């Protein structure tokens, strides 16, 4: 797990142990430095982040089950190929978005491996309802800043599709 709360903490890179299966799902959270209320939810910024996420998903650089953009952070569920891996993938993506959109990211990111399908389902539901709990919309379906490809139950990962669907319980 990687959590960085400021310059006083050492920066540790997360490398999953070799026994962790490739394709494991991770909850990822990335915080931005925001100086206005809209931040990452600016329509231009949000659209570019979602496009970048979809591109990396389609090209197999990662598999993204869900990405939700909030004004000051991103939350999602991802899996990564062993090479370049979780840390390198996230660092390169943050750098790309910072250069292209002028986003100031806080150092590092938070990750937590979701070991069981039930954890993936529960975390998906929790993330989808975050804007509702924050008072930004009435239902999760109203929140426009979401990338959510469809996954078949048999596959569990991969594939592309719409960003709509039902929340999982």
The ranges of the chain with pLDDT < 70 are 1-14, 151-169
Residue range 87-102, pLDDT digits in tens = 999 999 999 999 999 9
Instruction: Give the DSSP letter of residue 105.
Output: B
Give the residue extent of every domain in the chain.
25-147
CA–CA separation, 150 and 153 (whole Å):
10
**Inter-CA distances, 88 with 30, 80, 138, Å:** 14, 10, 36
Which CATH number is associated with domain 25-147? 3.30.70.1290
Give the model's pLDDT for residue 37.
80
Residue range 20-34, pLDDT digits in tens = 778 899 999 999 999
Give the model's pLDDT for residue 36.
82
């Amino acid at each position: 797990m990687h959590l960085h709360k400021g310059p006083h903490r050492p920066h540790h890179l997360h490398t999953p142990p070799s026994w962790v299966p490739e394709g494991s799902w991770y909850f990822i959270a990335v915080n931005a430095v925001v100086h206005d209320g809209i931040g990452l939810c600016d329509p231009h910024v949000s659209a570019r982040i979602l496009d970048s996420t979809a591109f990396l998903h389609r090209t197999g650089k990662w598999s993204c089950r869900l990405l939700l953009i909030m004004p000051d952070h991103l939350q999602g569920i991802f899996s990564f190929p062993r090479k370049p891996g979780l840390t390198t993938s996230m660092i390169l993506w943050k750098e790309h978005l910072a250069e292209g959109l002028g986003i100031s990211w806080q150092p590092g990111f938070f990750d937590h491996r979701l070991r069981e399908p039930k954890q993936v389902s529960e975390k998906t539901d929790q993330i989808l309802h975050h804007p509702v709990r924050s008072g930004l919309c009435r239902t999760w379906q109203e929140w426009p800043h979401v990338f959510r490809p469809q996954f078949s139950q048999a596959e569990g990962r991969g594939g592309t599709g719409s960003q709509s669907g039902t929340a999982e319980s």
